[in-house]
Amino acid sequence: MREPDLYAPMTLTLKNLYRLLTRPDYPQYNYPVFPEAALKGQTLVRFWYRFFQAALPAELDLTVFEPSEHQNRTLTRLLNRTGSPGMMGKWFGELSNMLDQRQLFRLLQAWMDRLTEWSYQSETLTRRLDAYIADLINGHDVPGPELETFFRRLADGLTAVNSVDTPMLFRHSAVLCWLTLYALYGSRMTDPALDRLRAMTDRPFPVLYERYLSVRDNRLPRVITGGDCVLKSQPLPAQMYFGYRSEIEAAMEALR
Tell me what pLDDT residue 227 has. Answer: 45
Residue 5 pLDDT greater than 70, yes or no: no
The residue among 44, 81, 64, 73 whose CA lies nearest residue 184 is 81
Mean pLDDT, residues 67-92: 88
8 Å CB contact between 220 and 234: no
Give one DSSP letter per residue of 87-149, joined into a string. TTHHHHHHHHHH-SHHHHHHHHHHHHHHHHHTT--HHHHHHHHHHHHHHHHHTT-S-SHHHHH
Mean pLDDT, residues 80-90: 89
Mean pLDDT, residues 163-192: 91
Tell me what pLDDT residue 14 has. Answer: 97
Mean pLDDT, residues 86-91: 91
Other C-beta atoms closer than 10 Å to the C-beta of 63 total 11
Measured CA to CA, the distance from residue 208 to residue 211 in angstroms comes to 5
Question: How large a percentage of the chain has pLDDT more than 70?
Answer: 84
Tell me what pLDDT residue 239 has. Answer: 55
Tell me what pLDDT residue 223 has. Answer: 39
* Distances from the Cα of 31 to the Cα of 20, 36, 43, 202, angstroms: 11, 11, 20, 31
- Radius of gyration of the chain from its Cα atoms, rounded to whole angstroms: 19
Measured CA to CA, the distance from residue 148 to residue 189 in angstroms comes to 12
Q: Who's near 178: CB < 8 A, 6+ residues apart?
A: 150, 151, 154, 198
Measured CA to CA, the distance from residue 60 to residue 78 in angstroms comes to 16
Question: How large a percentage of the chain has pLDDT more than 90?
Answer: 53
For 8-34, the pLDDT digits (tens) are 578 999 999 999 999 999 988 888 999
Helix (H) or strand (E) holding 217: none
Mean pLDDT, residues 227-240: 53
For 182-201, the pLDDT digits (tens) are 999 998 999 999 999 998 77
* 224-251 as b/e: b if 16+ CB within 10 A: eeeeeeeeeeeeeeeeeeeeeeeeeeee
Residue 218 pLDDT greater than 70, yes or no: no
